[in-house]
Every structure is written in structure tokens, then in C-alpha cells.
């Protein structure tokens, strides 16, 4: 999938990046001609560009990396977080075409070209980042074909806003599957109406049903490593199907975009409150908050990177976390005395986690699977085991 033979030719093409507020940046494509559009955001991670590229939570977005040298360790089979590249385009300061790593199986350029994703370099990524921090994430258009600034700005303004957009259906699986020993194991197509007999290790391992809103592979790895038998189901799976399958626990995954339009997921989660223990991450955190009667709102420029400080209010400890989200749950909207905030972001005091005092459920906004990132929060997967045992 990654090792691609491409005939040598001139890849570098002049390009133009235009933002909806009229700001433009001259740049170059290192993947040949093309165009791309989406919401432009930035990520502060120093490593993990391949995980960033394949994270479904970036669907519909153009990602700018703040670390200047990208491509220096190539790409490989082990570090992908989904079946394909998810970003609309990839912006970096300087592309490194000669990877140096024993795990490398190809170059970043060949990987992007193989999946028809535009790679942009030779642009002031610091200026882009400062502009987004000052004015907020916004719609953007990149082209090597149309170099007219006014034309590209107009095209950027015509892109649908991220607010109100359901992106889950773009990235979620349409068929259930087991995650076994790090691989996708499709369900027998004859199992049209699965029930609790679908579990192969019911009396050996705890079973968890994971809703796929754009799930990362490393979340599935962590659930399996914690000792779960993991069944992944489509985002649109209804509560009656879940009850028929009868898992020991329910997991709500990460995913892209605005949580409020994903009404089908919110309604299903609301129907399952109190049925089985629930653990949510990222978009799953937001959807669970909405199902409990809370509200969400869009951050100015989001949290994206592997160095976000979060305070655990239960222990007083500070965790350095990996994050990727543009929306958050309004902590003031979770007014029920039975809902307790458990984690807060130390940069802007936004809600990063909560639990219910009576129902067996908890959720965090950040990524404890941290791929890439620190492992400060891996304990949350073992906490899921304890929640199921206590329930």
C-alpha cells in the first residue's frame, strides 16, 4: 500500500493557498498538480505525521504542521490509524525526500501521491499558525491550477461550514467487524441479525461494542491490549441491535466534525444510558454530553497536538495529552448534580472529561491511546475494565 514506484519527473509546482478572510500564501506542491479545500487547522506535534494523515477526525480539514521538517522518517505499515489518508491536504514548511529510519517503507511524497492528496511546502507555516490563532480556523482552498487570489478566496467562501456538518458518515464503517490481534476481521455476511451468540470469548474476556464514528486503530489496539473482545459497529447502529448483541460494555469513538448534527448517534446513546457501562473519547465524549442534556460549541482554533496539559480533578495530577478536536462540551450546560467534571484543559479551562455519579459511564475529550503522544492517560482503558466489573 505504501511502497509505490513513481517515475521520476518534476514534482514541484507553484501553488496558492487562499483563506476565506482574504489572506493568501504563495507556496509549492511537492506532489504535482492538484487542488484541495477544507477547514484549515494546525497541529503542534513534532512526530507522528503519518498518524495525523490517517486520523479520521481530520476528515474535511487541511492540516498545517508547526514542526518544520516533515518526511524525514518516511512512512510504514505500522503507524496508520485507518485504511486511508483522511486529510484534504497537508501543509509543511520543508519536505524531506530522503527518509532515514529502519521502519521506513517509502517516502511521504509517494504515499500522498498514491492516495491523490495534495502536499504543500515552502510556505511560512508560522505565519499560517499565528493567523489561525488570531482569527480562528476557517475555510481554505489550495490550487496549482488557479493562481488568481480573488478567484481562490471566492471558492474558499463557497465551501460548506464545519458547523452543522455531519462528517461521521464519510469515515465510519458500513459493516460490523471484529478487531482481532491488530487486524480487521469481517463479520460473516450471513449474520444479518446478530445476537449475543456472536461473541467468541464471552466467558473468557469482557466484550465491548465500539461505535465507529471515525475510530482510530490505536484505540482498538488499546482496548484489545486491556483484555477486551472488540466488536466495531456502524455509527447508525440502533439501540435494539446493541441490546440483542448484549455486550459487557459500550465504547463511543472519536470522529470528525460537529457533534450536534449526528442526531442518530445522540438518540441511540440516550436510549442506552444505564443499560451497560459506557466509555467515550473525543467525539464520543461530545455525543455522550449531548445525550445527557448538555450543549457543545466550536473552539476558535481547536486543540491539536501531542502536548496539551490536562488536570485530573480526581487526583490533582497533570497529564500531558494528545488531542485533535474543534468542538467541546460546555461545562456549564452539564448542570445535573449527578454529572461530575473530571478533567480540565489547563490552557483554556475547557472541559476535558466527566463522569456520572449514578450511571456507569465516563468520557474524555482527549486521546488516551495517544498515537502519537505521551502515555499519561492509558489508565483510562483499565478503568473501563473496573467500571464493568463494578457494574
Do residue 48 and residue 74 come from a single domain?
Answer: yes
Exposed / middle / buried, residue 104 (Cβ in 10 Å: 0-12, 13-18, 19+)? middle
Residue finishing a domain among 106, 137, 157: 157
The CA distance from 232 to 170, in Å, is 16
pLDDT at 187: 87
35 and 90 assigned to the same domain = yes
126, 240: one domain: no
Are residues 224 and 283 part of one domain? yes
- Per mean pLDDT, which range of 8-12, 47-51, 131-135, 207-211 is the poorest? 8-12
Q: For residue 8, is pLDDT > 70?
A: no
In this structure, are residues 109 and 97 in contact, taking their beta carbons and an 8 Å threshold?
yes
Instruction: For residues 256 and 300, state if they share a domain.
Output: yes
Residues designated as active site: 282, 367, 369
Mean pLDDT of 314-331: 96
Same domain, yes or no, for 150 and 181? no
Residues 149 and 196 in one domain: no
Residue where a domain stops, chosen among 157, 182, 202: 157
For residues 373 and 126, which has the higher predicted lDDT (pLDDT)?
Answer: 126
CATH number of the domain to which 114 belongs = 3.50.30.20
What interhelical angle do 283-291 and 263-272 show, nearest 10?
70
Confidence band for 9, pLDDT divided at 50, 70 and 90: low
Number of separate domains in the chain: 2
The band of 202, judged by pLDDT with boundaries at 50, 70 and 90, is confident
7: confidence class by pLDDT, cuts 50, 70, 90: very low
The string of pLDDT tens digits covering residues 136-169 is 999 999 999 999 999 999 999 999 999 999 999 9
Structure confidence by residue, pLDDT tens digits, 217-256: 999 999 999 999 999 999 999 999 999 999 999 999 999 9
5 pLDDT more than 70: no
Residue 4 domain-assigned (yes or no): no
Average pLDDT, the chain: 94
Q: Give domain status of residue 293, yes or no.
A: yes
Q: Does residue 5 form part of some domain?
A: no
Indicate whether 194 and 265 sit together in one domain. Answer: yes
Residues 150, 176, single domain; the answer is no
H helices of 273-314, in order, are: 283-291
CA 390 to chain centre: 30
Residue 163 lies in a domain: no
Tell me which residue range forms the domain holding 339.
168-390
If asked whether residues 268 and 373 sit together in one domain, one would say yes
Question: Can you tell me the mean pLDDT for 17-28?
Answer: 98
The answer to the question of residue 2 being in a domain is no
Say yes or no: 100 and 229 in one domain: no
Q: Is residue 201 located within the same domain as residue 90?
A: no
- Among residues of the chain, what percentage have pLDDT more than 90? 91
Percent of the chain with pLDDT over 70: 96
Residue 42 has pLDDT above 90, yes or no: yes
Mark which of 136, 157, 178 sits at the end of a domain.
Answer: 157
Q: What is the pLDDT of residue 191?
A: 60
Amino acid at each position: 500500500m505504501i511502497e509505490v514506484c513513481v517515475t521520476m519527473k518534476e514534482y514541484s509546482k507553484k501553488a496558492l493557498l487562499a483563506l476565506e478572510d482574504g489572506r493568501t500564501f504563495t507556496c509549492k506542491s511537492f506532489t504535482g498538480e492538484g487542488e484541495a479545500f477544507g477547514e484549515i487547522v494546525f497541529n503542534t506535534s513534532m512526530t507522528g505525521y503519518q498518524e495525523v494523515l490517517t486520523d479520521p477526525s481530520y476528515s474535511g480539514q487541511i492540516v498545517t504542521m508547526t514542526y518544520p521538517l516533515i518526511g524525514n522518517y518516511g512512512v510504514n505499515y505500522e503507524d496508520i490509524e485507518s485504511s486511508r489518508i483522511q486529510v484534504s491536504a497537508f501543509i509543511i514548511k520543508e519536505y524531506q525526500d530522503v527518509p532515514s529510519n529502519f521502519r521506513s517503507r517509502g517516502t511521504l511524497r509517494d504515499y500522498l501521491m498514491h492516495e491523490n492528496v495534495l502536499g504543500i511546502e515552502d510556505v511560512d507555516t508560522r505565519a499560517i499558525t499565528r493567523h489561525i490563532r488570531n482569527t480562528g480556523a476557517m475555510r481554505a482552498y489550495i490550487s496549482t491550477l488557479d493562481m488568481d487570489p480573488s478567484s481562490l478566496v471566492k471558492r474558499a467562501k463557497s465551501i460548506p461550514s464545519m458547523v452543522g456538518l455531519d462528517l461521521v458518515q464519510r469515515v465510519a464503517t458500513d459493516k460490523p467487524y471484529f478487531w482481532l490481534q491488530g487486524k480487521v476481521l469481517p463479520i460473516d455476511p450471513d449474520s444479518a441479525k446478530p445476537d449475543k451468540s456472536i461473541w467468541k470469548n464471552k466467558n473468557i474476556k469482557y466484550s465491548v461494542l465500539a461505535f465507529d464514528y471515525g475510530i482510530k486503530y490505536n484505540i482498538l489496539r488499546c482496548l484489545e491490549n486491556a483484555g477486551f473482545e472488540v466488536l466495531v459497529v456502524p455509527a447508525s447502529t440502533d439501540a435494539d441491535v446493541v441490546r440483542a448483541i448484549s455486550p459487557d460494555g459500550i465504547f463511543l469513538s472519536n470522529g470528525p466534525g460537529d457533534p450536534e448534527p449526528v442526531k442518530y448517534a445522540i438518540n441511540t446513546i440516550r436510549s442506552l444510558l444505564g443499560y451497560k457501562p459506557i466509555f467515550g473519547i473525543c467525539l464520543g465524549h461530545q455525543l455522550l454530553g449531548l445525550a445527557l442534556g448538555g450543549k457543545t460549541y466550536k473552539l476558535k482554533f481547536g486543540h491539536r497536538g501531542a502536548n496539551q496539559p490536562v488536570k485530573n480533578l480526581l487526583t490533582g495530577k497533570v497529564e500531558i495529552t494528545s488531542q485533535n478536536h474543534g468542538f467541546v462540551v460546555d461545562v456549564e450546560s452539564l448542570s445535573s448534580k449527578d454529572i461530575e467534571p473530571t478533567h480540565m484543559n489547563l490552557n483554556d479551562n475547557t472541559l476535558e472529561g466527566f463522569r456520572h455519579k449514578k450511571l456507569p459511564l465516563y468520557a474524555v475529550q482527549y486521546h488516551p491511546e495517544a498515537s502519537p503522544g505521551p502515555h499519561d492517560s492509558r489508565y483510562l482503558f483499565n478503568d473501563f475494565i473496573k467500571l464493568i466489573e463494578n457494574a
